[in-house]
């Protein structure tokens, strides 16, 4: 049986990963940190998370098959709802013909909406980190490093949007890091539940 990560070590690693978002906000300020670099960082982190998802599904199937399957189906449904809710612009749409618009997965129009969306997103990441921590230290460390890199790109996007709307760069860095702090609390609670 794998040894779960201790809650204090998990919290420390999670806080480091969360504060990587502030670094992303700082990097997003310079022209050399181009938009395509953010895209590549996000794509790389998404690929790593997909791989980790398979490992967690395999582990979950051995521990509790029914809840694991239900969780996977619920996750698929939510992703379909968010990303499948796209419509083609053009006739009756707002954009030029051929352009895709998202209904549910597009960023909210207000600063408060963007901050809330980022915080809710990180809470779900925290649950995944907690489940990984209960599965063993190496998996938890790998997932936390992956989320740290992912948070850099997310911090760059959120921080740049907030700065473009008039928020000071230092304040945007703080907001980006605080939004990601939902992750450590969720991860510690999930780890405690999974390991008992």
Mean pLDDT, the chain, whole residue set: 69
Q: 115-145: per-residue pLDDT in tens?
A: 666 666 666 677 777 777 877 888 888 888 8
The gap between the terminal CA atoms of the chain, to the nearest Å, is 13
| Residue 86 β-bridge partners | 102
What is the predicted pLDDT for the residue at 7?
A: 82
Instruction: Supply the pTM of this predicted model.
Output: 0.62
Q: Give the Cα separation of 181 and 161 in Å (integer).
A: 19
Q: 13-45: per-residue pLDDT in tens?
A: 888 888 888 888 877 766 666 566 666 766 777
- Give 23 or 98, the one with higher predicted confidence: 23
Residues in Cβ contact with 115 at an 8 Å cutoff, skipping those fewer than 6 apart: 158, 175, 179
């Amino acid at each position: 049986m794998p040894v779960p990560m201790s809650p204090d070590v998990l919290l420390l690693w999670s806080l480091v990963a969360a504060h990587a978002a502030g670094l992303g906000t700082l990097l997003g300020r310079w022209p050399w940190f181009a938009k395509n670099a953010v895209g590549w960082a996000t794509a790389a982190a998404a690929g790593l998370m997909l791989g980790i998802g398979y490992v967690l599904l395999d582990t979950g199937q051995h521990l509790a098959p029914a809840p694991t399957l239900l969780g996977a189906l619920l996750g698929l449904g939510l992703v379909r709802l968010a990303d499948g809710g796209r419509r083609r612009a053009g006739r009756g749409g707002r954009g030029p013909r051929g352009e895709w618009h998202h209904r549910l997965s597009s960023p909210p129009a207000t600063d408060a909406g963007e901050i809330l969306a980022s915080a809710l997103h990180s809470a779900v990441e925290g649950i995944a980190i907690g489940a990984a921590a209960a599965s063993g230290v190496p998996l938890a460390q790998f997932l936390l490093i992956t989320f740290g890199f992912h948070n850099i790109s997310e911090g760059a996007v959120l921080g740049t949007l907030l700065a473009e709307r008039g928020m000071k760069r230092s304040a945007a860095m703080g907001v980006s890091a605080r939004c990601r702090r939902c992750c450590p609390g969720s991860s510690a609670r999930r780890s405690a539940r999974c390991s008992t």
